[in-house]
């Protein structure tokens, strides 16, 4: 086959090109021809097809994502915002923290182990590329029904992949979620988050400036895996049979190579050897070269035949599209190249000078001396198509909201209450996930202060001063289905509350927005509502969005997943010794319920567990109240007024109390407060609430603080004994609760 | 005066920084050792830390055992240099034949990370003198290939000579024969175990216990008083 050079393309305008097979639409192909003033070469077509994919270009979502910048709250903490590999926030003492959550949903359904593993690998490289040492990962996961046979195929593979890759990198896994719902049956959500820490002066950005600077590709050799992963896989709906057709589109990871890449890159940063750096993830070299050039002065020349290959038969198009893992691309001044290569050699990392920055404005790629790409890099990286997709509130939304969960039959006796409590804590969504999280290393690096099942994961970042950061991820697709705007704010509020409950001050967020097909106006409406809700919520809470990821086409045939915004909130704590755990550890501690409890059961765990019901409206959101609750929790932590705190969310008060009792190995006696019935007290999911354990010596100081600042604080009981006793209603032993809570997941999956 | 404790970094070692920190907290001078460097830089003892050296390719510890630094360590361990192998380090020690037996994949085939109860069976080794024989401690366990195996003759010999240094309590987490969590050589200078004492040296982090600090104070006292 003759090489499709730029010259050849200029002379053969009528050649048929496989733009449709590469996932491009006809008008997109026409636009490429217009930009270039000729037909694209095969290599150029490959680059545009991956970079203009939904996954890379955000073409359906970016008109909505703009709000995160337009409604950005004032924040002194933001150092780098949306658009870089990951956002960066100032956490004080000269430290900066970078963090992000991403999705690897489609690959993980097809090939659970490698899909999940490379999801971790990708997000870790994003963090590394900012100049930071990765210090922790988190994994928000969603699967189909817990008892469905395919869940037994997907979940163990995903968990083993996360563990197999993350454990081998030496990154503690400190949090995340596991949710089961049949809406995720054909579209599991495998999101992965990473936190990295650096000193301010170590911040690196992805740009190629300075003509004459060398472009170095280092890390693994390039292979035939993951070709078109972003365009064909992540940007198309699975067909109705759920059969993926592109198995090689899933990448294969090598965590050992990534560990070497991390250590090697950190040493290169320490010696200040790079002018710009970018990881290779989705869209591989197409993305790295075009983004580096586009963000810099514009010109770059690459000799593609110098790229080290695993498979010598790969074509230039395949090399440009390959998503082989564990690769990075750096821009290095000529006099620093020798030292750069020496450090790579020390770590047994292959490094190759593949090109240089030029003073032109074109990205030019050569193959054995012949020019195969000649494009304006911005047109590839930043000027992809923008769609204003039609959106419309689905006609079923009203009926869904009218189906009020408040009218469902409620337990009438103490015995029924007890029975439903046991059912609740044993349901796969509320049950202990230790069988899963015990497959992740949470101790490595020796800085883990809190890890799952705590409200937030917490990492010490300075051993001298005890400065630390905390992160929680949350998202409730059931709430978002009932009301996407409110659902997004509830996800934000819950993650914010979880971070505050651990004693840390929320600073900023990242989000992973998981939805069905943007070509469905109902899905697009959900997306529009969620982004609006999140942007408004972040503005009110003062926590800017630093970046994140959109995953669309999570749907099989006509059926989309619940809209599932997953929000990661990052917080800072000046002294991690002041952190607050969830465990009720000492008898005699007084239990206080903070916030207002209303009859709110729409989308609740109770409605799902007891009635298999989803309808009505989700709990009301009051972000001013969330902020006040957060301030109280943080002050009480700092000043030693509380020994434990646990946020109330799915499952309500009783779920939180059971978890705190089991964690501490103690019982509790609860009294239903005046004005509430036992059922609402135990199962309501009103937002803006937490339960805290207050030492008797601090009771007055704590209640005075709540009173002075106007936060309702109701004494509801005491830590005591070896059972959970709800006065006048029922008692249940810790042993019985523990068995119910801990047996479910192993029984389903082990 | 203090002692210098070296911690080896192989490609893929993960818990090297933790082991260096543990040595420092115990009062020793921590020294980083690099796998390509045969020189031990006058350290008085060596820790082979946990991780996945060389990606655990071939077999856990099988490739590291041939690295330049191991040449010197193997030679000096035979003449008395105290060596502690934790997790992957234990695997390296068995591959290097400084300790008998081998580690297979956990019997349940999953990675397991948990707080693990152990009984210190031998409190006379270089690394366990600060414990009492029979003392129960809790330290984190985290591995994929932690099932200790050896033939019956070797197991009987280990038992007879008091060389089973640690045994799992409260449930065998991986199917190790005779609940063995760690062993020592006959001289007591080379000790290997799967659980991670270096993760249990500070009340603030990990499981909140400091039960693992004794490994590092034991060796320090021995070296300083020698």
pLDDT tens, residue by residue, B172-197: 999 999 999 999 999 999 999 999 99
Mutate to test the interface with B, among A442, A443, A749, A750 (most CBs of B within 10 A): A443
Tell me the nearest-neighbour CA distance from A51 into chain B, angstroms: 33
Give the whole-angstrom CA distance, residue A683 versus residue A679. Answer: 6
- pLDDT for A382 equals 87
DSSP-derived 3-state class of residue A551: strand
Q: Given B87, B95, B121, B199, which residue is catalytic?
A: B87
% of residues, chain B, pLDDT over 70: 100
Burial A32-62 (b: 16+ CB within 10 A, else e): beebbebbbbbbbbbbbbbbbbbbbbbbbbe
SS (H, E, C) A120-149: HHHHHHHHHHCCCEEEEEEEEEEECCCCCH
Looking at the complex, does the CB of residue A348 fall below 8 Å from at least one CB of chain B? Answer: yes
Please tell me which of the candidates A438, A444, A445 has its beta carbon nearest to residue B114: A438
Percent of residues, chain A, with pLDDT higher than 70? 96
**Is residue A548 part of an annotated ligand binding site?**
yes
Cα nearest neighbour of A174 on chain B:
B206
Inter-chain residue contact B204 with A448, CB threshold 8 Å? no
Looking at domain A98-381, does it have CATH number 3.90.650.10? yes
Which CATH code fits B4-225?
A: 3.40.50.880
> Which pLDDT does position A542 carry in this prediction?
96
pLDDT at A364 (0 to 100)? 96
Q: Respond yes or no: is residue B113 known to be catalytic.
A: no
Mutation target to probe the B interface, by most B beta carbons within 10 A, among A163, A169, A446, A461 is A446
* Cα(A110)–Cα(A121) distance, integer angstroms: 17
Is the pLDDT confidence value at B226 over 90?
A: no
Quick check: B111 and A255 CB within 8 A? no
**Is B16 within 8 Å of chain A by CB?**
no
Q: Band the pLDDT of A423: cuts 50, 70, 90.
A: very high
Clarify whether A104 is annotated catalytic: yes
CB A157, CB A112: distance < 8 Å:
yes
What is the per-residue pLDDT across A477-520, written as a single tens digit (0 to 9) for each?
999 999 999 999 999 999 999 999 999 999 999 999 999 999 99
Task: State the complex-level ipTM.
Answer: 0.94
Contact A448 B206 (CB under 8 A): yes
User: Has A549 been labeled as part of a binding site?
Assistant: yes
In angstroms, the CA B32 to CA B6 distance is: 6
> A190 — contact with chain B (CB < 8 Å)?
no
- CB contact under 8 Å between A441 and B15, yes or no, is no
Percent of chain A predicted with pLDDT > 90: 84
The interface residues of chain B toward chain A in range 157-186, judged by CB-CB distance below 8 A, are none
Distance from the Cα of residue B99 to its chain's centroid: 11
Q: Which residue has the higher pLDDT, A226 or A658?
A: A658
A666 contacts A587 by C-beta, under 8 angstroms: yes
List Cβ neighbours of B94 (8 Å cut-off, separation of 6 or more): B61, B100, B101, B102, B103, B192
On chain B, the residues whose CB falls within 8 A of the CB of A169 are 14
> What average pLDDT does the segment A297-302 reach?
89
Q: Is the pLDDT reported for residue A240 higher than 90?
A: no
Is A103 known to sit in a ligand binding site? Answer: yes
Question: Is residue A254 within 8 angstroms of chain B, CB to CB?
Answer: yes
For A531, phi and psi rounded to 5 degrees?
-65, -40
CB-closest option in B110, B114, B205 to A446: B205
pLDDT of res. B137: 97
C-alpha A248/C-alpha A177 separation (Å) is 29
**Interface contacts A/B by beta carbons within 8 Å:** 88
Residue of B35, B95, B121, B196 marked catalytic: B196
Q: Report the range of poorest mean pLDDT among A322-331, A654-663, B79-88.
A: A322-331
Segment among A162-176, A286-300, A544-558, B77-91 with least mean pLDDT = A286-300
Q: Are A234 and A283 in contact (CB under 8 A)?
A: no
Integer Cα distance of B51 and B54 in angstroms: 9
Mean pLDDT of B133-144: 96
Cα atoms in the Cβ-side hemisphere of radius 13 Å centred on A98 = 30
- Among partner residues B12, B196, B206, which is closest to A259 by beta-carbon distance? B12
Residue B212 at interface with chain A, using a CB cutoff of 8 Å: no
Which pLDDT tens digit goes with each residue over A189-200?
999 999 999 998
What's the DSSP call for residue A82?
B
Q: Which residues of A fall within a CB distance of 8 Å from B64?
A: none
Q: Does residue A581 or residue A54 have the better pLDDT?
A: A581
User: Which residues 65-94 in chain A show a CB within 8 A of chain B?
Assistant: none
Inter-chain touch B11–A348, beta carbons under 8 Å = yes
Q: Does B95 touch chain A (CB under 8 A)?
A: no
Whole-angstrom distance, CA of residue B116 vs CA of residue B199: 12
* Record: contact B17-A445, CB cut-off 8 A: yes
- Chain A segment 33-52 residues within 8 A of B by beta carbon are none
Contact of B62 with chain A, judged by CB distance below 8 Å, is answered with no
User: Comparing A81 with A6, which gets the higher pLDDT?
Assistant: A6
For A309, residues 6+ apart whose C-beta sits below 8 A from its C-beta are A221, A222, A223, A319
Give the model's confidence band at A249: pLDDT under 50 very low, under 70 low, under 90 confident, else very high: low
The residues facing A331 across adjacent strands are: A215, A276
Binned at pLDDT 50, 70 and 90, residue A236 comes out as: low
User: Nearest CB to A260: which of B11, B56, B206?
Assistant: B11
From B16's Cα to the closest Cα of chain A, the distance in A is 9
How many other C-beta atoms lie within 10 A of the C-beta of residue B73? Answer: 27
pLDDT of residue A567: 98
* Domain ranges within chain A, ordered by starting residue: 6-54, 98-381
- What is the pLDDT, as a whole number, of residue A232? 57
Mean pLDDT of chain A: 93
- Which positions in chain A touch B51 (Cβ < 8 Å)? 170
Closest residue in B to A256 (Cα) is B55
What average pLDDT is seen over chain B? Answer: 96
**pLDDT, tens digit, 9 for 90 and up, residues A364-394:** 999 999 999 999 999 999 889 999 999 999 9
End-to-end CA distance of chain B: give it in Å, rounded: 12
How would residue B1 be classed by pLDDT, with cut points 50, 70 and 90?
low
* A98-114 residue pLDDT tens: 999 999 999 899 999 99
The CA distance from B67 to the nearest CA of chain A, in Å, is 14
Q: Do B18 and A444 touch (CB under 8 A)?
A: yes
- What's the gap in Å between the CA of A380 and the closest CA on chain B? 37
Interface test with A, best of B88, B205, B206, B209 (most A CBs within 10 A): B205
Q: A163 contacts in B (CB within 8 Å)?
A: 110-111
Domain boundaries, chain B: 4-225
């Amino acid at each position: 086959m003759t090489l499709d050079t730029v010259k050849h393309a200029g002379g053969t305008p009528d050649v048929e090109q496989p733009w449709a097979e590469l996932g491009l639409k006809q008008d997109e192909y026409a636009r490429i021809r217009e930009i270039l003033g000729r037909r694209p070469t095969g290599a150029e077509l490959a680059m545009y097809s991956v970079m203009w994919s939904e996954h890379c270009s955000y073409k359906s979502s970016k008109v909505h994502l703009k709000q995160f910048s337009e409604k950005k709250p004032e924040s002194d903490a933001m150092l780098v915002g949306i658009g870089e590999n990951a956002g960066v926030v100032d956490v004080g003492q000269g430290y900066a923290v970078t963090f992000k959550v991403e999705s690897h949903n489609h690959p993980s359904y097809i090939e659970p182990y490698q899909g999940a593993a490379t999801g971790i690998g990708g997000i870790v490289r994003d963090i590394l590329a900012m100049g930071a040492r990765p210090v922790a990962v988190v994994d928000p996961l969603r699967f189909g029904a817990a008892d469905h046979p395919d869940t037994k195929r997907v979940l163990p593979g995903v968990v083993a992949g996360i563990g197999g890759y993350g454990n081998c990198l030496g990154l503690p896994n400190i949090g995340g979620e596991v949710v089961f719902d049949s809406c995720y049956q054909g579209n599991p959500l495998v999101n992965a988050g990473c936190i990295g820490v650096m000193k301010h002066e170590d911040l690196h950005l992805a740009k190629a400036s300075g003509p004459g600077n060398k472009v170095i590709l280092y890390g693994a050799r390039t292979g035939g895996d993951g070709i078109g992963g972003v365009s064909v896989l992540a940007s198309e709906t699975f067909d109705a049979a759920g059969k993926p057709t592109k198995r090689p589109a899933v990448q294969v990871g090598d965590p050992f190579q990534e560990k070497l890449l991390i250590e090697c890159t950190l040493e290169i940063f320490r010696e200040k050897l790079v002018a710009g750096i970018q990881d290779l993830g989705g869209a591989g070299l197409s993305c790295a070269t075009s983004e580096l050039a586009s963000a810099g002065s514009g010109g770059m020349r690459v000799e593609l035949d110098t790229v080290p290959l695993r498979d010598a038969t790969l074509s230039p198009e395949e090399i440009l599209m390959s998503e082989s893992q564990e690769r990075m691309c750096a821009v290095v001044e000529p006099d620093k190249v020798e030292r750069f290569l020496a450090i790579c050699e020390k770590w047994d990392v292959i490094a190759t000078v593949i090109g240089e920055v030029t003073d032109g404005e074109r990205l030019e790629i050569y193959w054995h001396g012949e020019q195969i790409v000649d494009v304006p890099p911005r047109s590839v990286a930043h000027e992809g198509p923008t769609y204003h997709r039609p959106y419309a509130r689905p006609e079923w939304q009203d009926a869904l909201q009218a189906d009020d969960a408040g009218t469902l039959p409620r337990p009438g006796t103490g015995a029924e209450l007890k029975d439903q409590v046991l059912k609740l804590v044993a349901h796969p969504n509320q049950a202990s996930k230790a069988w899963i999280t015990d497959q992740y290393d949470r101790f490595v690096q020796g800085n883990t202060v809190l890890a799952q099942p705590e409200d937030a994961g917490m990492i010490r970042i300075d051993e001298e001063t005890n400065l630390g950061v905390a992160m929680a991820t949350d998202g409730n697709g059931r709430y978002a289905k009932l009301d996407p705007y409110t659902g997004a704010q509830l996800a934000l509020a819950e993650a914010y509350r979880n971070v505050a409950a651990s004693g840390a001050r929320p600073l900023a967020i990242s989000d992973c927005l998981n939805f069905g097909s943007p070509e469905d106006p109902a899905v697009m409406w959900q997306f529009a509502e969620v982004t609006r809700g999140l942007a408004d919520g972040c503005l009110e809470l003062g926590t800017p969005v630093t970046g994140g990821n959109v995953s669309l086409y999570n749907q099989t045939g006509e059926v989309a997943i619940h809209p599932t915004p997953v929000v990661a909130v990052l917080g800072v704590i000046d002294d991690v010794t002041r952190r607050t755990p969830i465990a009720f550890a000492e008898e005699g501690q007084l239990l206080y319920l903070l916030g207002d409890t209303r009859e709110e059961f729409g989308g609740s765990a109770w409605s799902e567990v007891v009635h298999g019901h989803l309808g009505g409206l989700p709990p009301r959101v009051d972000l001013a109240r969330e902020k006040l609750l957060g301030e109280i929790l943080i002050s009480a932590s700092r000043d030693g007024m509380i020994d434990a705190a646990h946020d109330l969310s799915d499952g309500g008060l009783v779920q939180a109390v059971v978890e705190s009792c089991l964690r501490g190995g103690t019982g509790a006696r609860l009294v239903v407060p005046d004005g509430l019935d036992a059922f609402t007290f135990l199962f309501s999911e009103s937002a803006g609430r937490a339960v805290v354990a207050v030492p008797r010596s601090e009771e007055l100081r704590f209640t005075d603080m709540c009173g002075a600042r106007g936060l309702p604080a109701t004494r509801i009981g005491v830590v005591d004994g070896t059972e959970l006793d709800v006065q006048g209603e029922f008692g249940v032993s810790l042993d019985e609760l523990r068995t119910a809570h801990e047996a479910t997941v192993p029984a389903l999956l082990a | 005066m203090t002692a210098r404790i070296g911690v080896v970094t192989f490609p893929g070692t993960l818990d090297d920084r933790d082991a260096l920190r543990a040595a420092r907290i115990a009062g020793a001078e921590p020294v980083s050792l690099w796998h390509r460097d045969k020189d031990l830089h006058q350290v008085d003892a060596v820790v082979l830390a946990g991780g996945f050296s060389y990606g655990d390719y071939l077999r856990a510890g099988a490739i590291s055992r041939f690295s330049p630094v191991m040449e010197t360590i193997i030679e000096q361990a035979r003449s008395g240099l105290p060596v502690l192998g934790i997790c992957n380090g234990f695997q390296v020690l068995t591959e290097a034949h400084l300790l008998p037996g081998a580690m297979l994949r956990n019997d349940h085939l999953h990675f397991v990370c948990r707080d693990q109860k152990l009984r210190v069976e031998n409190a006379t080794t270089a690394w366990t003198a600060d414990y009492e024989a029979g003392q129960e401690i809790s330290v984190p366990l985290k591995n994929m290939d932690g099932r200790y195996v050896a033939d019956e003759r070797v197991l009987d010999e280990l038992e007879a000579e008091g060389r089973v240094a640690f045994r799992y309590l409260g449930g065998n987490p991986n199917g190790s024969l005779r609940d063995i969590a760690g062993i020592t050589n006959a001289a007591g200078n080379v000790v290997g175990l799967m659980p991670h004492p270096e993760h249990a040296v500070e009340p603030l982090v990990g499981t909140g216990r400091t039960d693992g600090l004794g490994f590092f104070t034991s060796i320090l006292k021995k070296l300083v008083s020698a």
